[in-house]
Amino acid sequence: MTGTRLGILTGAAGHIGRATVDKFAANGWSLVITDVSDAVEEVARNAAREHGTTVIGVQADIAREDDAVRVAAVAANSGQPMTFLGLIAGINHEAAPVDQIDMDIWDRVFSINLRANVLMMKHCVTLLRQSGGGAIATTSSWWGRAAHPYFSAYCASKAGVIALTQSAAGELAPEIRVNSVAPGNVGTPMHFDALEVEARERNISLKEMQEIEWAKIPLGRPAEPTEIAAAFHFLASPESSYLTGAVLDVNGGCGFY
């Protein structure tokens, strides 16, 4: 494989995932990238062609243990030491009050947002240790710190990611650093879909809902996916060498006033 550093990135076919693949590949990383969508293979080809590094796409459902094992095996068989695990995969759900939520949806959200992270840690920690250490970065959320009405499964799962991050950081130090990126609103279709369904719940227009949500952000706008990708790259780099168990808020200032 080309490149001097190998990382695994999950959720690589999503908007934040694609931006993160591009950020790492542009900085010389070799990558194993995975997503439940077969689009991950195209993402890998495009990144490899544009940046001249090795990017292997693996279609997988990492909430299934056999698929998590398979992704880790691709990294293990690459012949390169793995030094970073970026856990980006995640989903939201349609707005629903807690007394009406479909428990199949609840279980699916927890499976993808939390269980998949545990499985990838379980099967990649050995690879990081064999490389002499490295870093793991999860994706939590501002909504995991301050829960939001109508999105209880998403918020609770992201709060769980924060707790998982802190538990793993304590267990794996000092060889492996474990931190989390906690985005606020990001200008992706998932964000705009969430605004739309909540607007319907509140019986207001999408524009009104957007104004309500963006008024809570001191910087006045949602993040670009590239801004979240930069946070992951920082947590993978030596520049974050004294951070572990941290939750890096990339939310435009939410909660600070």
> Is residue 154 annotated as part of the catalytic site, yes or no?
yes
Nearest residue to 86 (alpha-carbon basis) of 135, 39, 151: 135
The partner residues of 58 in beta bridges, in order of sequence, read 34
Q: How far apart are CA 257 and CA 253, in angstroms?
A: 8
Q: What string of DSSP letters covers 29-97? A: EEEEEEESSTHHHHHHHHHHHHH-S-EEEEE--TTSHHHHHHHHHHHHTTSS-EEEEE-----------
Spot the catalytic one: 150, 154, 242, 257: 154
- Contact (CB, 8 A) for 128 and 134: yes
The partner residues of 181 in beta bridges, in order of sequence, read 139, 248
Q: How far apart are CA 14 and CA 37, in angstroms?
A: 9
- Catalytic residues, which ones? 154
